[in-house]
Copies of this chain bind each other. A is one copy, B any other.
Amino acid sequence: MPNDTFWTTDPSELLRVRPGFDLADQPTDGTPGFDGGKTEGQDALAAGRDKLAELQEKLYACGREGDTRSVLLVLQAMDTAGKGGIVSHVIGAMNPGGVHYAGFGKPTPEELAHDFLWRIWREVPSAGQVGVFDRSHYEDVLIGRVRQLAPPDELERRYGAITGFEHELAESGTTIVKVMLHLSRSEQRKRLAARLDDRTKLWKFNPADVDERLRWDDYQEAYQIALERTTTAEAPWFVVPADHKWYARVAVQQLLINTLERLDLEWPMPDYDVEEQKRRLAAS
């Protein structure tokens, strides 16, 4: 359900990956379901911050009182698609005390000496937390596939391992939201060029980014396969057009708000006698 007047159609419905999905058909520069432009998008993002923060506090409160539920946002994208901005502008609205952020980079030797899900398991959210994966186990079927970092049968095995892992998480109370920020190749060139033109952004650029960019089509194919094979009712994928940063942010914020609202959270009831505690406090 749309949560404010800016949304004409629920992005959870519009952006969800469905049977027959073809990534090549998905626009990167649209703003589906949102009634407005950049200014309205920024207003909606600002308005959504408090709502998201309150829902997250409720989830945290429930977790403190024995509710085992949690939420996990998985973010995947090509370089410059805006993961960092989502973390800063959307996730940043929530209390850091209730958010578990995990960024997954190039695996360490210790990580490589384990199953690919080993490092992932260590970072799953605990009860009451909102977890955020900035890159994730999907790297192992994205760059893993494009760069042939594992034998073909191991790569093939991983799709099932991923849905099994996500099923286990869902069973233990974690609601999983998987987002691919979908950027156009030309917009990526602009954004990389902008980094090279700004001395405060040079550190964000890595020559390897261009190497990966040269394999654009291979990555799109790897995403297509990963999305169609791992989107499930309990861990759906959403493809969010990302050429407009403001849209991607407000859309991911709304996906999170919807997810938390559907948990139908209530402020926990006290397990103590409130009036008795008032008396004790007054006497203290």
Residues of A whose CB lies within 8 Å of any CB of B are: 53, 61, 64-65, 84, 87-88, 91-97, 99, 101, 103, 132, 134, 189, 192-193, 196, 199-200, 202-207, 210, 213-214, 267-270, 272, 274, 277-278, 280-282, 284
Whether the Cβ atoms of A200 and B267 lie closer than 8 Å is yes
Whether the Cβ atoms of A207 and B97 lie closer than 8 Å is no
In the complex, what's the smallest C-beta–C-beta distance from A188 to chain B, in angstroms? 9
In the complex, what's the smallest C-beta–C-beta distance from A46 to chain B, in angstroms? 13
Whether the Cβ atoms of A202 and B99 lie closer than 8 Å is no
- Least CB separation from A134: chain B residue: B97
Whether the Cβ atoms of A199 and B84 lie closer than 8 Å is no
Whether the Cβ atoms of B65 and A280 lie closer than 8 Å is no
Whether the Cβ atoms of A96 and B97 lie closer than 8 Å is no
For A278, the chain B residues whose CB sits under 8 A away are 193, 196
Q: CA separation between A93 and B245, bound complex, in Å?
A: 19
For A64, the chain B residues whose CB sits under 8 A away are 203
The one of B53, B101, B193, B277 in contact with A281, judged by C-beta atoms closer than 8 angstroms, is: B193
Q: Apart from A203-B268, A207-B280, what 5 extra A-B contacts exist at CB < 8 Å?
A: A65-B203, A87-B96, A97-B134, A189-B281, A210-B277
Whether the Cβ atoms of B97 and A99 lie closer than 8 Å is no
Whether the Cβ atoms of B203 and A274 lie closer than 8 Å is no
For A193, the chain B residues whose CB sits under 8 A away are 278, 281-282
Whether the Cβ atoms of A84 and B96 lie closer than 8 Å is no
Q: CA separation between A11 and B84, bound complex, in Å?
A: 32
- Least CB separation from A216: chain B residue: B284
Whether the Cβ atoms of B207 and A277 lie closer than 8 Å is yes
